[in-house]
Structure formats: structure tokens, C-alpha cells
């Protein structure tokens, strides 16, 4: 074997070793992220002191006394979906959470296959208002085949506007729109600037690619807290854009 051949084989070995190392590191990082051991987003508490959770039946039975005692200030609870679905745990969660010091609100999972008026009626019939509650939230994200087969924008805007108007008229609070980056860009941007935005961005800062004017930010769906025992081991964590004083003084009343 010539000296040149030996050098070539050594270079290949080094390259293969490096590639193997990178694959192993990527695999380890994937496991750490998937199990919630490492979070892609972990914003500093000093910059964003007001944090909270959003929950649904997936968290199962929640001990709100335990959950609320883990450096969180608010909770959004899933209430309804579409025109007829009601989250199985909503009533229990809504009553129990009110006994804590958390500010709390309810959210609705928006359906592209149902009229905005009947979706609003479903939410209103389910969510009993109380003084100091956070605004109702309409969760606009893709489900099923909608991510690859986007519903018509104009049709979505019509029904979403109807629901927003109905909720605002009933509760006297300006509803919050929850959106992913994709649904924000497709449906929400430049259409609903008068409404508070709750943006979901679990991989980057929401201002990294675009300067979103957000009020709430869901920064991870891989946090683990104590106080729930459902099939979902993780819980969504969120931030409020502002200080504690601004959070407490915000009423969102219209």
C-alpha cells in the first residue's frame, strides 16, 4: 500500500468517525428533547416573569392546589371544540381552578367544518363567566388533513369573524386568537390586529423570523410539572408579554 493510499484511508476513517459521532449526538439530542429533559425554548424568567399552562382532558385529573403552586400565574382550560364537542374535564377543571390564585380562562378549538355562530353558541353554553376571568381564546390550528389541504382563506375569515364578534358581545372581553406560525401567516396576519395574539412557537423565539406582536407565547409543549395524571405526561407552558403589574391590570374589557 502506498503512502498516498494510507493517507486516503486514514482520511476516510476520520470522516466516518466524525459522521458516526454526529449521528450519535443527534440521536441523543432527539431523545433528550422528546422526553422533555432538554427544552428548545427556555426563556429567562427575569425577562418573562409571568408564566402559565394550558390544559385539557389529556392531562386527566388535575390537582389544582398542587399544579398552581409551581411558579405559574395563569391557566387556560380547554372547553369546547366545533359546534358540539365539550371537553370531558372542563367542568371539573373550571370549578377547581377558580379556588386557586391563578388567573384563568377557557379556550375553544376552532373547526373549519362548522359555522362560527354555532361554535360560539357551544362555547357560551359551556363557559360560565366570572369577574376577572381571562378572555376567551379561539385556537386556530390545523388538524387532520387540513395542513396539507388548507381550508379556503375567505371562508375561514368569515366564520372566524362571526365567532369572535359573538364571544366579544357575550363576555365583554376582546377574545384572544391562538395560532401556529402556519395558521398565523395564512389566516391571521393583517386581518385581526385588534385582537390579542397567542402564538405557538416551540422551536425558536417568536420574534426570530418575524416580529409578531404577541401577548402570549406557547414556548414549549414538553414541560413536566406535578399535579396531573392523564395519558399526556407533558404540559404546555406559556408566557405573558409584560410585567406582573401589567398582567394583573390587564382586563381586556371592551
Q: Residue 183 above 60 pLDDT?
A: yes
With the CA atoms of 57, 252, 138 and 224 taken in that order, what torsion angle do they form, in degrees rounded to the nearest 10?
-40
Q: Residue 18 above 60 pLDDT?
A: no
Q: Domains in the chain: how many in total? A: 2
34 shares its domain with 57: no
Specify if 207 maps to a domain: yes
**pLDDT score of 27:** 39
Percentage of the chain with pLDDT > 70?
Answer: 82
Q: Which domain holds residue 54?
A: 42-249
54 shares its domain with 5: no
32 shares its domain with 63: no
**pLDDT score of 25:** 43
**pLDDT score of 10:** 61
Mean pLDDT of 90-105: 97
Q: Which three cell numbers stand for residue 113?
A: 367544518
55 shares its domain with 17: no
Specify if 254 maps to a domain: no
Per-residue pLDDT tens digits for 28-61: 333 334 444 445 668 999 999 999 999 999 999 9
User: 63, 96, 90, 61: which is closest to 78 by C-alpha?
Assistant: 90
Give the residue numbers annotated as catalytic, written as ranges.
Answer: 54, 141
Q: Are 112 and 151 in contact (CB under 8 A)?
A: yes
**pLDDT score of 38:** 46
pTM listed for this prediction: 0.85
33 shares its domain with 146: no
Q: Residue 11 above 80 pLDDT?
A: no
**pLDDT score of 206:** 83
138 shares its domain with 197: yes
Say which CATH number the domain at 53 has: 3.20.20.80
**pLDDT score of 212:** 72
**pLDDT score of 250:** 86
Mean pLDDT of 107-124: 98
Q: Residue 182 above 80 pLDDT?
A: yes
Q: Give the chain as a 3 state SS string.
A: CCHHHHHHHHHHHHHHHHHHHHHHHHHHHHHHHHCCCCCCCCCCCCCCCCEEEEECHHHCCECHHHHCCCCCCEEEEEEEECCCEECCCHHHHHHHHCCCCCEEEEEEECCCCCCHHHHHHHHHHHCCCCCCCCCCEEEECCCCCCCCCCCCHHHHHHHHHHHHHHHHHHHCECCEEEEEHHHHHHHHCCCCCCCCEEEECCCCCCCCCCCCCCCEEEEEEEECCCCECCCCCCEEEEEECCCHHHHHHCCCEC
Amino acid at each position: 500500500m502506498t503512502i498516498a493510499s494510507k493517507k486516503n484511508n486514514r482520511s476516510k476513517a476520520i470522516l466516518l468517525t466524525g459522521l458516526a459521532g454526529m449521528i450519535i449526538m443527534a440521536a441523543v439530542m432527539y431523545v433528550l428533547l422528546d422526553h422533555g429533559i432538554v427544552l428548545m425554548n427556555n426563556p429567562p424568567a427575569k425577562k418573562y416573569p409571568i408564566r402559565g399552562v394550558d390544559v385539557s382532558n389529556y392531562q386527566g385529573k388535575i390537582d389544582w392546589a398542587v399544579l398552581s403552586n409551581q411558579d405559574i400565574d395563569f391557566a387556560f382550560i380547554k372547553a369546547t371544540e366545533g359546534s358540539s364537542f365539550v371537553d370531558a374535564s372542563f367542568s371539573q377543571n373550571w370549578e377547581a381552578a377558580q379556588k386557586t390564585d391563578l388567573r384563568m380562562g377557557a379556550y375553544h378549538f376552532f373547526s373549519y367544518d362548522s359555522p362560527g355562530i354555532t361554535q360560539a353558541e357551544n362555547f357560551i353554553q359551556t363557559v360560565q363567566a366570572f369577574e376577572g376571568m381571562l378572555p376567551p381564546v379561539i385556537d386556530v390550528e390545523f388538524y387532520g388533513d387540513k395542513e396539507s389541504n388548507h381550508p379556503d382563506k375567505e371562508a375561514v375569515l368569515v366564520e372566524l369573524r362571526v365567532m369572535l364578534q359573538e364571544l366579544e358581545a357575550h363576555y365583554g372581553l376582546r377574545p384572544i386568537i391562538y395560532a401556529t406560525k402556519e395558521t398565523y401567516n395564512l389566516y391571521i396576519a393583517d386581518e385581526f390586529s385588534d385582537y390579542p395574539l397567542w402564538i405557538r412557537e416551540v422551536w425558536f423565539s417568536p420574534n426570530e423570523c418575524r416580529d409578531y406582536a404577541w401577548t402570549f407565547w406557547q414556548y414549549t409543549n414538553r414541560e413536566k410539572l406535578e399535579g396531573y395524571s392523564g395519558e399526556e405526561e407533558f404540559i404546555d407552558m406559556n408566557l405573558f408579554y409584560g410585567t406582573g403589574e401589567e398582567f394583573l391590570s390587564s382586563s381586556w374589557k371592551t
